[in-house]
Structure 1
Amino acid sequence: MRRLTLTAIIGIAMASTGYAQSTQSPLEPKSGSFFETHPITDGNMPTFFSELKAKMTYPLAYDGGDPAAWRERVLPAAEALMLPSEDTVAFKPEVIDQIDRGAFTAMRVAFNITDESRVAAIVLVPEGEGPFPGVLMLHDHGARFDIGKEKWIRPWYDAARLKSTTQWSEKYFSGLFPGEELAKRGYVVVATDALGWGDRAGNGYEAQQALASNLVNLGSSLAGIMAQEDVRASEFVASLPEVDPERVGVVGFSMGAFRAWQVAALSPVVKATVADCWMATYDGLMVPGNNQLKGQSAWYMSHPGLARVMDYPDVASLAAPKALYFMEGVDDPLFPKASVEHAYAKMHTVWDAYNADDMLKTEFFEGGHIFTEDRQKAAFDWLDGQLK
């Protein structure tokens, strides 16, 4: 009896939707059907992305009151989502080779960056008496993987990479090598490769998604590995005998800027940070047509679960009241100006709550997604004021 009743109900339902007398497969919608008028996706975005955005209320964002108490409460939750482990292995640095470049000595130095990985960094040590201020240089993505640390500093050990970094310098840095410019100013400079670049290059652009999913299945994440390594790299800079551990800074461009403000929030040794061309809100970036929607490179900046509780500027605000300098190009197609301004305003609210708004500098420059000579001069002059 129950089966007959259920069958009758199904028959009535099919008749009411127009399928009862149709010979067409239910999986093949007719012209004008629900599935034609209500597409499931729009390119790489679900059509209901606006509804999902409405649920992103960021419960761990700063909501007024004592900012130090907010940070003490929120930082452990952010670290749990962003850092896959707490590494304790000794760095055990080893000089591989070196070259005298007049104003500074350039070295390749191998060290244990995490419990699992030993990497080679380029370390520049200026001439003269130390200890010196130290700066960690964090490279961009750029969809170019043969060079990582070499994007900042000319390699002397690989002719092919020297050709690549010269091209990169001319395209983004006004023909300069920013790491070397800082060394000439009297900074110890350290540059490393993120997983997938330079000495650690993998299978290229299309393989990023596989690498990211495999790390998730190994209980980690691509963004988490990068954040963990950058924190450790900042601690490595502070550990060098030539460096004053109270004067450690970070400089990053593009994805490196994301890494820079992220490590400023997570690492206690970082005192001053320059971030060129990476700051906005999820709302402003998750829109049709934005580069973020391509998905591949975004894995390096996507911590599983973090978007449910914090926006990008909320994470950066965990660095307050440290000295941070954000710069952005007014013509940068990757970061819409209105979204950047919204993010800047959110951060200024936190620094202002510390009575330290002068420690947060946010600026727009003419031009696009670049770190040209004028921006480098502004950034390095500002660093001098913070760390010298």
Structure 2
Amino acid sequence: MRPTALGGYDDWPDFVRDASPLTGDELTTRVAELLGVPEPPSAPAVRIVDDWQSDDVHGSLLEWNTPFGPPTRAWLLRPREGSGAALLGLHCHAGVKSIGAERLVETPEPTAGAVRLRSSFYQDRAVANALARAGFVVLCHDTFAWGSRRFGFDPLPWRLRDVMATYEAAWLAADHSPADDEWYDVAAGHHENTIAKAAGLLGTSFAGMVAYDDLVALSVLRGLDGVGPDRIGVFGFSGGGARSATLTALDPGIKASAIVCMMTTFDALLPAYFDAHTWMFTSPGLARHLDFPSLTAGRARHHQLVLYAEDDELFPPQGMLTADRELTEHFHYGPGTYQSIFLPGPHRFDTEMQDLVKTFFESSLMGSVRT
């Protein structure tokens, strides 16, 4: 008998089969149908696992149960003085699934993986803490297949066993002993194809299940004391930017969205660039109905910031320029707004970009913006 290929998620198929599809206004219903997003339940009961205080920010490690798979962990940061404005931070992909949202948060005892990711992409700054110090309530959660919501590989699924045997032979030949997180991230990178395959069989998608977890986290954020229901924004870098666009399309109550280094037309990805991207961004059939700029613009009632890296190795320059032009056209008549900034340099979310995101949210959620 072969081992499960859905370690820790053997209850996922029954959940999807029994779940009702997410519905709402025309756009919500359309996007949810294209991605196969199930209807989330009411906001889950939240448990506080840990608390700490640092740099005028009160931090909490939270946990809640999702109807399938392992429990979700999240980090909540509250400023000493808040304005009611709140942000949902959506972590990137980066080929690292051993940890999730911790890469955005400065915790009392950070893991080595979080420190490495912040060094590689975030210029050694925990962006969630910086935004909390600016007066925002910030919630960052592990989404489907990451961190606390990871899939288990003990024992290894049949196909993945053969893949990892090849890696282990190469490591042995190179006299390299991978740390547990390095081993897991290599395995999880290959396993994403298996998850996408299962999702397709079930009538959903990898992006649809990530969106489901993001909607649940959004309901937790909305239910927090002191959070203004009409002052909620989302932000994400790279794969987190794709999540931000999808979530804003699914939930019309999001007032502001910031996307960093995650914008192009879908056509521009073919034939050379699509292979670099996750299943979160390449859902089968989506491009026949919605291009990424039109998905991002959605109802054009929210305030949208997109930061582009001119030398981004993951996106063709023409795709970024065309997307920028299309977004400008989508938002031309409002009532929302669109702001784009092109910056030289490669794929990253450095402190300059983080400061631009902070200023954008201060204006769109705390200040006066054209409505």
| TM-score of the aligned structures, taking structure 1 as reference length | 0.75
Please identify, of 74-83 and 264-273, the stretch whose mean Cα deviation from structure 2 is larger.
Answer: 74-83
1:341 to 2:321 alignment: yes
Kindly indicate whether the alpha-carbon contact (under 8 Å) linking 1:152 and 1:191 is maintained by their aligned counterparts in 2.
yes
Residues 9-20 of structure 1: pairs in structure 2 closer than 5 A: none
Once the 2 structures are TM-superposed, how far is the Cα of residue 319 of structure 1 from its aligned partner?
A: 4.1
Q: Distance in 1 between matches of 2:28 and 2:42?
A: 23
Match of 1:87 among 40, 44, 67: 40
1:378 to 2:331 alignment: no
Partner SS, residue 299 of structure 1? coil
Kindly indicate whether the alpha-carbon contact (under 8 Å) linking 1:89 and 1:114 is maintained by their aligned counterparts in 2.
no
Q: Distance in 2 between matches of 1:381 and 1:90?
A: 30
Kindly indicate whether the alpha-carbon contact (under 8 Å) linking 2:43 and 2:216 is maintained by their aligned counterparts in 1.
no
Aligned-pair identity in percent equals 25
1:207 to 2:194 alignment: no
Aligned to 2:4: none
Aligned to 2:94: 142
1:96 to 2:76 alignment: no
Match of 1:278 among 243, 259, 262: 262
Once the 2 structures are TM-superposed, how far is the Cα of residue 368 of structure 1 from its aligned partner?
A: 1.0
Could you tell me which runs of 5 or more consecutive residues in structure 2 were left unpaired when the two chains were aligned.
1-23, 152-186, 367-371
Kindly indicate whether the alpha-carbon contact (under 8 Å) linking 1:89 and 1:115 is maintained by their aligned counterparts in 2.
no
Aligned to 2:303: 323
Match of 1:387 among 349, 356, 365: 365
Kindly indicate whether the alpha-carbon contact (under 8 Å) linking 1:90 and 1:112 is maintained by their aligned counterparts in 2.
no
Aligned to 2:224: 240
Kindly indicate whether the alpha-carbon contact (under 8 Å) linking 1:284 and 1:336 is maintained by their aligned counterparts in 2.
yes
Kindly indicate whether the alpha-carbon contact (under 8 Å) linking 1:87 and 1:114 is maintained by their aligned counterparts in 2.
no
Partner SS, residue 304 of structure 1? coil
Q: Distance in 2 between matches of 1:281 and 1:145?
A: 26
Per-residue Cα deviation, 1:187-214 (whole angstroms, up to 9, x for no partner)? 1110011222212233411111011111
Q: Distance in 2 between matches of 1:265 and 1:219?
A: 20
Match of 2:139 among 175, 190, 207: 190
Per-residue Cα deviation, 1:66-87 (whole angstroms, up to 9, x for no partner)? xxxxx96554322211242112
Report the residue type matching 2:348 in the other structure: I
Kindly indicate whether the alpha-carbon contact (under 8 Å) linking 2:88 and 2:139 is maintained by their aligned counterparts in 1.
yes
1:302 to 2:282 alignment: yes
Match of 1:121 among 74, 89, 93: 74
Once the 2 structures are TM-superposed, how far is the Cα of residue 283 of structure 1 from its aligned partner?
A: 1.1
Aligned to 2:125: 176
Q: Distance in 1 between matches of 2:113 and 2:27?
A: 42
Once the 2 structures are TM-superposed, how far is the Cα of residue 355 of structure 1 from its aligned partner?
A: 5.8
Kindly indicate whether the alpha-carbon contact (under 8 Å) linking 2:89 and 2:141 is maintained by their aligned counterparts in 1.
yes
Partner SS, residue 240 of structure 2? helix
Kindly indicate whether the alpha-carbon contact (under 8 Å) linking 1:140 and 1:256 is maintained by their aligned counterparts in 2.
yes
Once the 2 structures are TM-superposed, how far is the Cα of residue 279 of structure 1 from its aligned partner?
A: 0.8
| TM-score of the aligned structures, taking structure 2 as reference length | 0.78
Kindly indicate whether the alpha-carbon contact (under 8 Å) linking 1:223 and 1:301 is maintained by their aligned counterparts in 2.
yes
Kindly indicate whether the alpha-carbon contact (under 8 Å) linking 2:59 and 2:78 is maintained by their aligned counterparts in 1.
yes
Kindly indicate whether the alpha-carbon contact (under 8 Å) linking 2:46 and 2:62 is maintained by their aligned counterparts in 1.
yes
CA shift in 2, pair 1:219/1:355, >3 Å? closer
Aligned to 2:14: none
> CA RMSD, aligned part only?
2.0
Report the residue type matching 1:379 in the other structure: V
Q: Distance in 1 between matches of 2:339 and 2:30?
A: 27
CA shift in 2, pair 1:368/1:142, >3 Å? same
Aligned to 2:235: 251
Q: Distance in 1 between matches of 2:25 and 2:72?
A: 32
Aligned to 2:171: none
Once the 2 structures are TM-superposed, how far is the Cα of residue 108 of structure 1 from its aligned partner?
A: 0.9
Q: Distance in 1 between matches of 2:321 and 2:299?
A: 18
Aligned to 1:110: 63
Partner SS, residue 314 of structure 1? helix
Kindly indicate whether the alpha-carbon contact (under 8 Å) linking 2:43 and 2:223 is maintained by their aligned counterparts in 1.
no
Partner SS, residue 347 of structure 1? helix
- Structure exhibiting the larger radius of gyration computed from Cα positions: 1
Kindly indicate whether the alpha-carbon contact (under 8 Å) linking 2:265 and 2:323 is maintained by their aligned counterparts in 1.
yes
Kindly indicate whether the alpha-carbon contact (under 8 Å) linking 1:131 and 1:241 is maintained by their aligned counterparts in 2.
no
Aligned to 1:4: none
